[in-house]
Amino acid sequence: MKEMQLKYGCNPNQVPSRVYLKDGELPFEVLCGRPGYINLLDALNGWQLVSELKKATGLPAATSFKHVSPAGAAVGLPLTDTLKKIYFVDDVELTPMANAYARARGADRMSSFGDFIALSDECDKATALLIKKEVSDGIIAPSYSDEALEILKAKKNGNYCVLKIDPAYKPNPIECKEVFGITFEQGRNELPINDDLLADIVTDNKDMPESAKRDLLISLITLKYTQSNSVCYVKDGQAIGIGAGQQSRIHCTRLAGNKADIWWLRQAPQVLNLQFVDGIRRADRDNTIDVYISDEYEDVLKDGVWQTLFKIKPEPFTKAEQKEWLKKNSDVALGSDAFFPFGDNIERAYKSGVKYIAQPGGSVRDDNVIETCNKYNMAMSFTKIRLFHH
């Protein structure tokens, strides 16, 4: 198939709409459903991301995409009992591919609501059963087991979008797009992201263990497919906070840091011990947890409100308690798609447990940024590459 007609473009008024290749066949086939314009943008960006993660780490990878940026990305490392509980997968059998998806979806569950999924390897039954329970628009993967495909085809009354990508497809090295009737052309960003980019450690602390290098590579590859400006916090093989599309670097660092903090706070005993009423929907549970650990927690504790959500009225999770819990987060990796212009980014990153950093360097204030890292005994590499994505 050389082209595919779409219902409409980014918005319903943008018609006609289609995707096509000038030469050759489209590298994917639709096994179920009908993809939209934004679905395909998410699918093709997501597929590139997980393909690179698999190549860089040797592990199966997954990403959860929303509006042309990842909400989560991860590799298939085993989950702790705590992570299984906060990702709502403590009662199912998990494979490496399912672990990767549970991590990618679980990092920022609110942002992942209605996502488009990309998997680096075959979608197996265990992964399909996880997807079955979530609100999602579609998936792209190189293959599907018979059982997995049957499960996914039944989702959304048979309208769930299932795409099969040809993993051997190689795009043209020159890419084009049009804006306001004007054609832009550039070479694809084919720069490999590997350990070589982390060799120039510019801080006093030169200790960067293999686990930190893995996490920094995950952050950089995730940033490569995140709308800029962007930063990405990673811990134990998964993104825990992604800040995308901010005009200011510090706002980006704060946004992603806040998401990383929420991920960590969800593991606190105060949250783990919440007793929700039976039958509460996952989205309602996610929203309630988000409010419970925010400044609006009193709203969910009001009479007439908490009774609809909890079996037992929870005690407030105070700001002082949250601050003490956040201090326990450590060994977090942070990547940035462009240089940090001021040390304030490092100060904010430190509050979210960051110990390892990878960024291009090249700011006139690099000395200040390095000095701030040294103050907190962080290890920072200058990659000398920028990863803007638009």
**What is the CATH number for 131?**
3.40.140.20
Q: What percent of the chain has pLDDT over 70?
A: 100
Residues 48 and 125 in one domain: yes
Within a domain: residue 68? yes
Domain endpoint, select from 123, 148, 165: 165
Within a domain: residue 387? no
pLDDT score of 304: 84
Residues 233 and 367 in one domain: yes
pLDDT score of 45: 97
Residues 300 and 253 in one domain: no
Domain endpoint, select from 165, 200, 222: 165
pLDDT score of 297: 85
Within a domain: residue 76? yes
pLDDT score of 232: 98
CB 92 within 8 A of CB 100: no
Within a domain: residue 183? no
Question: DSSP labels for 183-249?
Answer: EEEEE------SGGGG--B-SS-----HHHHHHHHHHHHHHHTSPSSEEEEEETTEEEEEEES-SSH
Residues 213 and 285 in one domain: no
Residues 213 and 284 in one domain: no
Residues 222 and 352 in one domain: yes
pLDDT score of 41: 97
Pure H helices in the chain = 37-57, 81-86, 96-106, 125-132, 146-153, 210-224, 249-265, 269-272, 282-292, 297-300, 306-309, 319-326, 344-351, 366-375
Residues 305 and 204 in one domain: no
pLDDT score of 301: 87
Residues 200 and 345 in one domain: yes
Neighbours of 192 (CB within 10 A): 9
Q: Round to whole Å and give the CA distance between 332 and 257.
A: 11
CB 10 within 8 A of CB 16: no
Q: Round to whole Å and give the CA distance between 29 and 155.
A: 18
Torsion region of 266: left, alpha or beta (phi above 0 gives left; psi -120 to 50 gives alpha): alpha
CB 288 within 8 A of CB 308: no
Tally of domains within the chain: 3
Residues 15 and 67 in one domain: yes
- Which domain, by its residues, includes 355? 191-260+329-382
**CA 27 to each of CA 70, 120, 134, 243, 272: distance values in angstroms, whole numbers, following the listed order:** 22, 15, 27, 30, 44
Tokens 């996880």 found at: 130
> Over the stretch 93-132, which tens digit does the pLDDT of each residue have?
999 999 999 999 999 999 999 999 999 999 999 999 999 9
pLDDT score of 305: 87
pLDDT score of 259: 96
pLDDT score of 295: 83
Tokens of 245: 């599309």
Say if strands 28-32 and 161-165 run parallel, antiparallel, or are unpaired: antiparallel
Residues 149 and 244 in one domain: no
Say if strands 238-244 and 230-235 run parallel, antiparallel, or are unpaired: antiparallel
Cβ-Cβ contacts under 8 Å for 34 (sequence gap 6 or more): 7, 159, 161
Active site residues: 66-67, 229, 390
Within a domain: residue 282? yes
Within a domain: residue 177? no
Residues 341 and 312 in one domain: no
* Residues in the chain with pLDDT values less than 70: none
Residues 303 and 231 in one domain: no
